[in-house]
Amino acid sequence: MADENSGKDKRKGTAVPKGRFSRLMGLGGTVASVAGSMAVKGAKELASGNRPKAQDLLLTPSNAIKLTKRLSKMRGAAMKIGQMISMDSGDLLPREFADVLARLRAEARHMPYSQLESVLFNEWGEDWPERFDHFNHFPIAAASIGQVHRAILKEDTGDAVVAIKIQYPGVRDSIDSDISNVASLVRMSGLLPKELDIDPLIEEARLQLHQEADYKREAAFMVRYQELLTGDPTFWVPDYFPDHSTDKILTMSYIPGTPIEALADTDYDDQQDLRNNVTERMMRLLHRELYEFGLMQTDPNFANYQYDEDDDRIVLLDFGAAREISPEITQGYRTIIRAIVAGDTPGTFEALTQMGFMPPDIPTDIKATLLEIIALAIAPMATDHVFDFGNNDLATTIKDMAMPLAGQKELWYAPPPETVFIQRKIAGMYLLATRLKAQVNMHRIVKEWV
């Protein structure tokens, strides 16, 4: 087997801690360090005559750096949750804290060659190199649960350029303990009110991560997406190579592309038209998933999408977070969208309440503010016009209106767990549209489904 990366692993990786005790000590040490810095800063504040809040002591850039470094070394569920927080809470966390934590989406460490080789031997046997003409030992991507390598299969096994997703050792066994440790850290932070029951959401996250660590399950959903998008030339889903895959190794076809987020900075001709077109495709796919497929890839991480300039298509990657959507949930969203398209603010409020997004009994004054916020939020979909995601202050206005409500106990309410990941995908697509500064008529898109 020829080696595309002579010298194998000149860029030294960081071993993934495998044992439950070592992972507990890794996160526990970070918690202790963060707690120590909180105590020191708190003592200084008290000495100055101030009474600091716990979350103000916790949410500092230095603590974010400590947490980011530790989670990027641990990988697994702990890092995955950190990535979720960095994407989903940018408007809730202090900007400096969120910016540092966002590095988790790009700073996963790869395994050292010795650990990688051990995984390959365990999954494929000692003769695994005979499968390939080339195998690049340095990954082309490293994430929270695994890393991806580019390789070329031998001619008698397909003669194809492939991307091989290899799971970090011990990650699957550490999910439950990682979830418990991170949940404890969140509770300690004081970011969430004690009255809010997050246990159902924690359980849903635990289930989701176990599913993401099952590569055979991911392969099955990748094949389903390929079937669902057959005949649609605007999307591309990799081919699955079952003979070179296991439950911890997923082999698929490889195609180069530009990260979809990078389209915001490229110099293509008619750049604005391209960004608009790509965004519209992504929004239409989102609604097809919800209303037509009954199946959604719920992880909106921008790394899961690439743009293939040669064939003008969007490459869809990573189906570990794909999940089926019940008809009841789909119908609930359809009811909400009908009210939105009609510009019916009270109807939208009622539909959101019926879906469980809001508590049933809300004081009149709080409800009035919520109705104002909903009216602003649905405006891009309620009227037939092109909405400029990159040149408006809608998100800031809504945030400013919503922040005073954060302390209202009447709104301390956890939504249905099944909807959390759907909402995350929807929010991620709107964040992508904003990042690409797209101009899209959302009213026409959503109206197709009601």
Q: Among all residues, which ones are annotated catalytic?
A: 299
Partners of 306 in beta bridges: 259, 315
Q: From start to end of 261-409, where are the E strands?
A: 295-297, 305-308, 313-316, 322-324, 387-388
Q: From start to end of 136-236, where are the E strands?
A: 141-142, 146-153, 161-167, 235-236
Question: Residues for the chain: how many in total?
Answer: 450
For 205, 216, 242, 298, 335, the CA distances from 210, given in Å and listed in that order, are: 9, 12, 21, 14, 32
State the residue for tokens 């707690």.
35
Task: Give the pair of three-digit tokens for residue 357.
Answer: 């997004």
State the residue for tokens 């649960």.
145
SS3 of 216, please? Answer: helix
DSSP output for 63-83: HHHHHHHHHHHH-HHHHHHHH
Partners of 249 in beta bridges: 166
Q: How far apart are CA 421 and CA 278, in angstroms?
A: 22
CA 229 to chain centre: 22
Q: How far apart are CA 318 and CA 297, in angstroms?
A: 8
Listing from the earlier edge strand, what are the strands of the sheet with 313-316? 235-236, 313-316, 305-308, 258-259
DSSP output for 217-254: HHHHHHHHHHHHTTT-TTEE-PPB-GGG--SSEEEEE-
Q: How far apart are CA 142 and CA 368, in angstroms?
A: 47
Q: How far apart are CA 221 and CA 396, in angstroms?
A: 37
